[in-house]
Amino acid sequence: MDLHRLIYISRPAFPVRAGWLQGPLAQILSAGMRNNVAANITGLLGVERNRFFQILEGDRPAIETTRARVFTDTRHFDIHVVAFDPIIERSFSDWAVAFAMNATLPADAPRRPDFMTMTAPEILERGLLLRRVGVIAEQGPDAPGAVA
């Protein structure tokens, strides 16, 4: 397997509120669960105030197909690829959506990180943090309580 990780940031083209799963965000969630799991892609869609970041891990052709589809989606804009690199192992065992909610973030975690200046390892660490404290939906072979 030619395992790769894509990390990108973008801005939502619609209002986003923490934990609010209606309209376009619900559609994105549904598509991600359907498409990413079928393609054996793991990772996280992080939802911060006025910012998305996504980490996708999987076979390179699957990531490239997903990238082509996602990057033409009009529900987000101002897309910046932070990294697209080969990896030895996955950091995520499933695919999830997580919000950065002040109530669940550790006291020392940044409340409004500047994603434009963050490195790929910093965004990956933010994703792993949100995976622990902000997950609202998850799906995959190893996801605890995976939803259908």
What domain count does the chain have?
Answer: 1
Domain CATH for 83: 3.30.70.100
Query: Is residue 51 classed exposed, middle or buried when 0-12, 13-18 and 19+ CB atoms within 10 A define those classes?
Result: buried
pLDDT exceeds 80 at position 21: no
Higher-pLDDT residue of 23, 126: 126
Residue 134 inside a domain? The answer is yes
What does the pLDDT read at residue 1? 67
pLDDT tens-digit profile of 93-103?
A: 888 888 888 77
Residue 102 inside a domain? The answer is yes
pLDDT exceeds 90 at position 28: no
What does the pLDDT read at residue 145? 39
Owning domain of residue 11: 3-139
Of 12, 68, 67, 42, give the one whose Cα is nearest residue 128. 42
Please state the rounded mean pLDDT for residues 70-96.
93
Residue 128 inside a domain? The answer is yes
Residue 148 inside a domain? The answer is no
Residue 144 inside a domain? The answer is no
- Taking every pair of Cα atoms in the chain, the longest distance, rounded to a whole number of angstroms, is 39
Global confidence as pTM:
0.87
Q: Output the CA angle 135-1-127, nearest 5 degrees.
A: 20
